[in-house]
C-alpha cells in the first residue's frame, strides 16, 4: 500500500508552488543583468548616455573575488562584495597600503574606487569600503575582470585558459572518450574481482597496514639509537618548549621515543581488533562477495547512476534559471534626499524627469538619489522569501532524486536476497520493478525523508546568511554560538543522511512508512553496531582503493566520477544485503544442530537458502 500519503500530497503542492514561482520569476526577471554586468547600485556597465560615467566603463571589477564562493550566492545570486564599473581591468598587483604611499600609484588606484576617497586615511577607506584592499592583475572575460593565472613570464587569462582546454578537448576528444570507456571496463573488472578475490584483497591490505606501522616503529627506533651520542639531543620536550619550526623536534631523542610509543600502541590496537573481529571481517568479506553476485544478476543497476545524474541535472538547471530570473527581478529604487526639511523627503522619485517634477519645485535643494536595489511592489518585497523557497525546493528535490535512486537499488537487491531460487524467483526486470514500486507506493516516504534533510540544509544556509549579516559584529559570544550551531547542524546532516539511507532500504524491503522503517533500521543497526563499523570501514577502504587504482590507470579526473558511480551502486548493494542479513540473524541464531526441526526445514523451503544459512552460521 501507499505510505506517508499526507507528505506525498504536501510534496506535490510544493512542486506546483515551485513551478508558479518559476513562472512568476520568468515574467518579472531580466537576465540581461547577468549577461551585462551591473555595479553595486544596479547600473549597467557600458550602457546609458555617453556623458555618463558608466557608459565609458564597460567592465565590472570585484573588490574581493573570493567572496563569490560564499553560500550567499545561492540566495542573492550576486557576489557579496562591492562592484564597480571600470574602463579597463587592473594590469598590475598593488595593495592599498603601498598605493597610498606613492602619488603615481595612488592616482592609478583611485580609478578602481567606487567613490572619491578624499583624505588618504587608510582605516576610513577600508571601513567605508570606498576602495578595494588590493588590486590583482586581471584580464576581461564576459565583461568582468578575472585574476590572471600562471607565472609572470607566461600569463594565461581565464579566457585563454578556458579556450586552451576547449581546443585540447576538440583535438583529443576521442582519446578522452577511450579512457573513460576504459574506466568503465576497469570498474566492472574490479567488481568481478571482488566476487572471487575479496578475501585475499582484504587480508593483504590489512597485513600491509600492519607492515607499514611496523616499518614506522623500526625507522623511529633507528633514529632514536642514532641520536644517542649527538650533542643536545637528550634535552626534554618540556625544556625545549614550543618551537614554530617543527623540524627542531626531529633532532631530539624524546620526540622519536614518543613516535615509537604512539605507533606501538596503534599496532597493538590493530592486532587486538583483528583477533577479536576476525569473524566479523570474514562476514564483511562474504557480504562483499555476495554483493558482487547480486550486481551480476542485476547488471542494469550499474548504469542507474546515469538516470540519477540526468534527473539531478534537470533539478539544478531549473533552480539556476529560476535563481537568475529572481535575482534580476529587482529594480533600482530612487528616493528624494534633502539636507533641510522637505515635504517629499524619502519618497520614491524618477531621476530622469526629477528636475521638472513638482518635488523639485517644492524642494529646490533636493536630489533624486539611489536608495536601494529592490522594488516597491509586493512581489519585490518578498523576493528574499522567494529565493529561500527556491533554494529550499532545490534541496528537497535534489534529496528526493537521490533518495529515489537509493530506494530503487535497495528494492532490486532485496528482491535478489529474498528470492529462494535465484534467479528464477526474481522479477524479470528487478530494477524497473523496484523503480515502479518506489514511485507508485513510496513517493510520500521519499518526500518525508528528503524534507527532513532539506530542512536541516536550509537551516545551515540560514546560519551562513546570519553569519554574513553579522560580519561586522563584535559580540564574541554570538560568534561562538553561531559557530557551535553550524558545527552541530553539520553533524546532524551527516547523521540524517545515514539514517535516511537505511530507512529507505527498510521501506524497500517491507513497504512500511518512513518513520517506522527509520526506527526499525536504527534499532537493527544498534543491535549489530560492531558489525556495522567493521563492514562500513572495510568496504569503504576497498572501494576507495579501487577508485584510486582506476584513476591511476586512466590518468583522468572524469574516471573518478565513473568509478564513484559504479562503486556507489556496489556500496548500496552491500548496505542492503547487510540489513537483510541482520534481519536473518534471529533465524540463524535458533538454527543450532539441536533445533533443526522438520518445521524449520519446511519453513526454509529452498535447499539453497538453507545451505547459505548454514555457511553464515559457521562463520
**74 belongs to a structural domain:** yes
Split at pLDDT 50, 70, 90, the class of 103 is confident
Please tell me whether residue 336 adopts helix, strand or coil conformation. strand
Which of 320, 344, 374 represents a domain boundary (last residue)? 374
Which of 323, 348, 374 represents a domain boundary (last residue)? 374
**pLDDT value of position 266:** 86
Which of 374, 403, 425 represents a domain boundary (last residue)? 374
Question: Is the pLDDT confidence value at 390 over 80?
Answer: yes
Pairing label, strands 154-156, 134-135: unpaired
**487 belongs to a structural domain:** no
Is the distance from CB of 145 to CB of 86 less than 8 angstroms?
yes
Least confident of 18-27, 59-68, 407-416, 447-456: 59-68
Question: Is the pLDDT confidence value at 563 over 80?
Answer: no
**pLDDT value of position 448:** 96
Q: Report the percentage of the chain scoring pLDDT > 70.
A: 75
More confident residue, 614 or 460: 460
Give the Å distances, CA to CA, from 106 to 59, 64, 95, 119, 145: 21, 19, 10, 12, 20
B/e letters for 242-274, b = 16+ CB within 10 Å, e = fewer, are: eeeeeeeeeebbbbbbebbeebbeebeeeeeee
Please tell me whether residue 154 adopts helix, strand or coil conformation. strand
**416 belongs to a structural domain:** no
Phi first, then psi, for residue 416 (nearest 5°) are -70, -45
| CA pair distance 189, 195, nearest whole angstrom | 10
Give the Å distances, CA to CA, from 578 to 287, 520, 619: 7, 14, 15
Spatial CB neighbours of 53, under 8 Å, sequence gap ≥ 6 = 85
**385 belongs to a structural domain:** no
Question: Is the pLDDT confidence value at 472 over 70?
Answer: no
Is the distance from CB of 192 to CB of 293 less than 8 angstroms?
no
Split at pLDDT 50, 70, 90, the class of 595 is very low
| CA pair distance 488, 485, nearest whole angstrom | 5
Spatial CB neighbours of 207, under 8 Å, sequence gap ≥ 6 = none
Is the distance from CB of 7 to CB of 403 less than 8 angstroms?
no
Split at pLDDT 50, 70, 90, the class of 610 is very low
**pLDDT value of position 83:** 81
| CA pair distance 437, 521, nearest whole angstrom | 20
**pLDDT value of position 16:** 95
**pLDDT value of position 589:** 57
CA neighbor of 370 nearest in space, from 386, 387, 354: 354
Split at pLDDT 50, 70, 90, the class of 303 is confident
Give burial (CB, 10 Å; 0-12/13-18/19+) of 137.
Answer: middle
**pLDDT value of position 596:** 47
Chain centroid to CA 74: how far?
Answer: 13
The grid coordinates listed for 39 are 555595479
Split at pLDDT 50, 70, 90, the class of 545 is low
**pLDDT value of position 315:** 92
pTM exceeds 0.75: no
**What mean pLDDT comes out for the span 82-109?**
82
| CA pair distance 241, 377, nearest whole angstrom | 65
**121 belongs to a structural domain:** yes
Spatial CB neighbours of 395, under 8 Å, sequence gap ≥ 6 = 453, 454, 457, 458
**pLDDT value of position 553:** 64
Q: Mean pLDDT score of the chain, rounded to an integer? A: 77
pLDDT tens digits for range 146-189: 876 544 434 444 444 445 555 555 566 667 677 777 877 777 77
Q: Give the domain range for residue 344.
A: 331-374
**pLDDT value of position 171:** 63
pLDDT tens digits for range 248-286: 677 778 888 888 999 999 889 878 877 877 777 777 777
More confident residue, 123 or 271: 271
Split at pLDDT 50, 70, 90, the class of 549 is low
**pLDDT value of position 583:** 79
**What mean pLDDT comes out for the span 204-231?**
83
Least confident of 210-219, 360-369, 594-603: 594-603
Split at pLDDT 50, 70, 90, the class of 569 is confident
C-alpha distance across the termini of the chain, in Å: 37
Q: How many of the other CB atoms lie within 10 Å of CB of 181?
A: 12
**pLDDT value of position 186:** 77
Question: What DSSP line would sit under 108-146, residue for residue?
Answer: HHGGGSSS---S--HHHHHHTT-S-SEE--EEEETTEEE
- Total domain count for the chain? 2
**368 belongs to a structural domain:** yes
Map 471-538 to HEC letters: CCCCCHHHHHHHHHHHHHHHHHHHHHHHHHHHHHHHHHHHCCCHHHHHHHHHHHHHHCHHHHHHHHHH
Stretch (H or E) spanning 369: strand 367-374
**pLDDT value of position 161:** 46
Least confident of 63-72, 285-294, 386-395: 63-72
Split at pLDDT 50, 70, 90, the class of 78 is low
**97 belongs to a structural domain:** yes
Q: Report the percentage of the chain scoring pLDDT > 90.
A: 19
**pLDDT value of position 7:** 94
More confident residue, 461 or 122: 461
pLDDT tens digits for range 326-370: 877 766 677 776 656 777 777 778 777 777 788 878 887 777 765
**pLDDT value of position 95:** 81
**537 belongs to a structural domain:** no
**What mean pLDDT comes out for the span 572-596?**
70
Q: Best-predicted range by mean pLDDT among 76-85, 115-124, 341-350?
A: 341-350
The DSSP bridge partners found for residue 134 are 95
Amino acid at each position: 500500500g501507499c505510505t506517508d500519503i499526507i507528505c506525498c500530497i504536501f510534496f506535490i503542492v510544493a512542486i506546483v508552488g515551485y513551478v508558479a514561482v518559476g513562472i512568476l520569476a520568468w515574467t518579472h526577471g531580466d537576465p540581461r543583468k547577468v549577461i551585462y554586468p551591473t555595479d553595486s547600485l544596479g547600473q549597467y556597465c557600458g550602457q546609458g548616455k555617453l556623458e555618463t560615467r558608466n557608459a565609458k566603463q564597460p567592465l565590472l571589477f570585484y573588490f574581493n573575488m573570493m567572496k563569490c564562493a560564499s553560500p550567499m550566492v545561492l540566495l542573492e545570486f550576486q557576489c557579496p562584495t562591492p562592484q564597480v564599473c571600470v574602463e579597463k581591468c587592473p594590469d598590475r598587483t598593488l595593495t592599498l597600503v603601498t598605493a597610498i604611499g606613492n602619488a603615481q600609484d595612488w592616482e592609478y588606484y583611485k580609478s578602481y574606487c567606487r567613490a572619491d576617497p578624499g583624505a588618504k586615511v587608510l582605516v576610513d577607506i577600508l571601513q567605508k569600503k570606498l576602495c578595494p584592499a588590493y588590486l590583482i592583475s586581471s584580464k576581461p572575460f564576459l565583461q568582468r575582470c578575472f585574476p590572471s593565472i600562471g607565472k609572470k613570464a607566461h600569463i594565461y587569462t581565464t579566457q585563454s585558459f578556458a579556450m586552451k582546454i576547449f581546443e585540447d578537448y576538440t583535438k583529443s576528444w576521442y582519446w578522452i572518450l577511450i579512457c573513460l570507456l576504459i574506466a568503465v571496463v576497469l570498474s566492472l573488472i574490479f567488481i568481478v574481482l571482488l566476487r572471487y578475490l575479496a578475501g585475499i584483497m582484504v587480508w593483504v591490505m590489512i597485513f600491509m597496514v600492519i607492515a607499514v606501522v611496523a616499518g614506522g616503529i623500526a625507522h623511529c627506533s633507528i633514529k632514536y639509537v642514532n641520536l644517542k651520542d649527538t650533542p643536545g639531543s637528550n634535552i626534554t620536550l618540556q625544556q625545549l618548549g614550543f618551537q614554530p619550526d617543527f623540524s627542531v623536534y626531529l633532532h631530539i631523542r624524546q620526540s622519536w621515543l614518543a613516535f615509537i610509543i604512539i605507533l606501538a600502541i596503534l599496532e597493538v590496537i590493530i592486532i587486538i581488533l583483528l583477533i577479536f573481529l576476525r569473524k566479523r571481517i570474514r562476514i564483511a568479506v562474504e557480504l562483499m562477495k555476495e554483493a558482487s553476485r547480486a550486481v551480476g544478476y542485476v547488471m542494469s543497476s550499474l548504469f542507474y547512476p546515469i538516470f540519477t545524474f540526468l534527473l539531478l541535472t534537470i533539478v539544478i538547471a531549473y533552480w539556476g534559471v529560476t535563481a537568475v530570473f529572481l535575482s534580476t527581478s529587482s529594480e533600482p529604487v530612487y528616493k528624494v534626499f534633502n539636507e533641510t526639511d522637505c515635504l517629499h523627503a524619502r519618497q520614491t522619485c524618477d531621476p530622469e524627469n526629477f528636475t521638472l517634477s513638482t518635488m523639485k519645485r517644492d524642494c529646490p535643494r533636493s536630489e533624486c538619489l539611489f536608495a536601494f536595489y529592490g522594488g516597491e511592489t509586493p512581489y519585490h518585497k518578498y523576493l528574499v522569501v522567494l529565493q529561500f523557497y527556491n533554494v529550499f525546493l532545490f534541496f528537497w528535490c535534489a534529496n528526493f532524486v537521490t533518495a529515489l535512486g537509493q530506494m530503487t537499488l535497495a528494492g532490486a537487491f532485496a528482491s535478489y536476497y529474498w528470492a529462494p531460487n535465484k534467479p528464477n524467483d526474481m522479477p524479470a526486470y528487478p530494477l524497473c520493478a523496484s523503480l515502479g514500486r518506489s514511485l507508485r507506493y513510496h513517493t510520500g516516504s521519499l518526500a518525508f525523508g528528503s524534507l527532513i534533510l532539506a530542512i536541516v540544509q536550509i537551516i545551515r544556509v540560514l546560519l551562513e546568511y546570519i553569519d554574513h549579516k553579522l560580519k561586522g559584529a563584535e559580540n564574541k559570544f554570538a560568534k561562538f554560538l553561531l559557530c557551535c550551531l553550524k558545527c552541530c547542524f553539520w553533524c546532524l546532516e551527516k547523521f540524517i543522511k545515514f539514517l535516511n539511507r537505511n530507512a529507505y532500504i527498510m521501506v524497500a524491503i517491507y513497504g512500511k512508512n518512513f518513520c517506522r522503517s527509520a526506527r526499525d533500521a536504527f534499532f537493527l543497526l544498534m543491535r549489530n553496531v560492531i558489525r556495522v563499523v567493521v563492514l562500513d570501514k572495510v568496504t569503504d577502504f576497498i572501494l576507495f582503493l579501487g577508485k584510486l587504482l582506476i584513476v591511476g590507470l586512466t590518468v583522468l579526473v572524469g574516471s573518478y566520477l565513473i568509478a564513484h558511480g559504479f562503486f556507489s551502486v556496489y556500496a548500496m548493494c552491500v548496505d542492503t544485503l547487510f540489513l537483510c542479513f541482520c534481519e536473518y540473524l534471529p533465524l540463524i541464531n535458533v538454527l543450532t544442530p539441536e533445533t533443526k526441526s522438520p518445521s524449520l526445514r519446511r519453513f526454509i523451503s529452498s535447499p539453497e537458502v538453507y545451505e547459505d544459512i548454514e555457511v553464515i552460521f559457521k562463520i
